[in-house]
Structure 1
Amino acid sequence: MARMSDLESVFCRTPPWRAFARRFVVPRVLPRDPAALGAEVLEIGCGSGAMAAEVLRARPDIRRYVATDVDPAMVALARRQLAGFGDRAAVEEVDASGLPFADGSFDAVVSWLMLHHTITWEQVLADAVRVLRPGGLLAGYDLSDSRRGRFVHRVTRSTVRMVAPDDLTAELEGLGLGDVTVRPLGIAGAYRFSGRR
């Protein structure tokens, strides 16, 4: 799996990113029903842990949130960011294309602005679905393969693939998920997506 560009890595550590996540992103990407995520959540590609912290603040009913990232520097940042959540949060160095968790381990798997960092996003999604419990939710948001999304991708010097919403929809349905939705997020050419196992 690829890592973030240097620019993205620096930006996701900043207070403006945390404020943006809290004020604009979390309200748009979290399911409106607090019970939709369930009690045990896996995040793939957590970066600095900013989104994980905001989700844990917004959803005190989450009992266990496992944040993962392939980059050791991001894992260290996320551990510091999530230390105040005690046993509710764990951070592990994991490649999302080969998750070390048993089948059916989580109520939800979330991916916040991570798929465009992967070379094999289809494999990442297949493994995410594998670790979902029956009825579990796969949800997230990412940059779309659109004019604005490609602009952000160029500015951040990201070198990996963009995911077109139609391709994502077909992949999620092909993995056997139901209630699949892929919709514009209204921020920088991004879209949100979800589906149930």
Structure 2
Amino acid sequence: MLTVDFDRLGLKPGERVLDMGAGGGRHAFEMYRRGADVVAFDRDADELGRVNEWFWAMKEAGEVPEGANAETKEGDALALPFADGEFDRIVAAEVLEHIPADIQAIEELVRVLRPGGTLAVSVPRWFPEIINWKLSADYHNVEGGHIRIYTEEELVDKVTKRGLEFEGHDHAHGLHSPYWWIKCAVGVDNDQHPLAKAYHKLLVWEIVKQPKVLKLAGKVLDPVIGKSLVLYFRKPQAAA
């Protein structure tokens, strides 16, 4: 289930790309399939171990183009262990809302992006997220949980003040917002509630089978209640 549009990001085979806050690796896997030189970066060593296993399995299964490379790297988003301008493209999907020092993390992303390179940042969208917070404190009051809700204007301002140019926005996962509203209403850990259970089956059907009817529903709902806000930026060529 991808949040970022890699065609819009401008990803090309052979480019060096960073998935910052890779988690389970969903975006890293897609970039690897597209022939990129991928670094999946996260602070969770266990997650990265599983991502590395999938990288190996993809290569063994012939799912990646000849010459594509992928690796994992553990570390701190506030001190990325990479050279200035090392990456052509960067993805930071659903991670900044977890980081207290988000401006410092943004500055690190800008630093390691090459001039002319592009960055995609996704965060929970304000409207669906504020409903979750109001329905349930347990939704975000957990270790490593969401510590803020961004407006588009706030996040664009934070990134552009660090030297990048804003190129546009998108919304994703419109079908997922109602699921989380249900979860927050009945209890975020209450997976056996009939309504939550039924909606979860719908989402599994969407992800696994990708039926046309749900694809169409998603396209209609994404601009209205899409759970994720996706912002695209470019580093000016003249940047140092």
TM range (shorter): 0.7 to 0.9
Is 1:88 the counterpart of 2:126? The answer is: no
Counterpart of 1:101 in structure 2 is: 82
Is 1:164 the counterpart of 2:151? The answer is: yes
SS, match of residue 176 in structure 1 = coil
Counterpart of 1:129 in structure 2 is: 110
**What percentage of aligned pairs have identical amino acids?**
28
Would the alpha carbon gap of residues 119 and 134 (structure 1) be closer, same or farther in structure 2, given more than 3 Å must change?
same
In structure 2, stretches of 5+ residues that fail to align are: 60-67, 178-226, 236-240
Is 1:175 the counterpart of 2:156? The answer is: no
1:72 is displaced (CA, Å) by: 1.6
SS, match of residue 32 in structure 1 = helix
Is 1:42 the counterpart of 2:15? The answer is: no
Partner deviation per Cα, 1:128-174 (whole Å, 9 max, x = no partner):
0100111010113221233x124556536424223221111111211
In structure 1, stretches of 5+ residues that fail to align are: 1-20
Counterpart of 1:17 in structure 2 is: none
Counterpart of 1:30 in structure 2 is: 5
Counterpart of 1:192 in structure 2 is: 230
Runs of 4+ in 1 over 4 A off after TM superposition: 151-154
Work out whether residues 50 and 81 of structure 1, in 8 Å CA contact, stay in contact via their aligned partners in 2: no
- Corresponding residue pairs, total: 167
Would the alpha carbon gap of residues 185 and 135 (structure 1) be closer, same or farther in structure 2, given more than 3 Å must change?
same
1:30 is displaced (CA, Å) by: 1.8
SS, match of residue 90 in structure 2 = strand
Partner deviation per Cα, 1:17-72 (whole Å, 9 max, x = no partner):
xxxx1xxx35xx223258x1241101100112122113322x23x1x100000112
Distance 1:102 1:54 in 2: 24
* One-letter code aligned to 1:178: E
Two-structure CA RMSD over aligned residues (Å)? 2.2
Larger radius of gyration: 2
Distance 1:55 1:74 in 2: 18
- TM-score norm. by structure 1 comes to 0.75
Work out whether residues 124 and 149 of structure 2, in 8 Å CA contact, stay in contact via their aligned partners in 1: yes
SS, match of residue 119 in structure 1 = coil
- TM-score norm. by structure 2 comes to 0.62
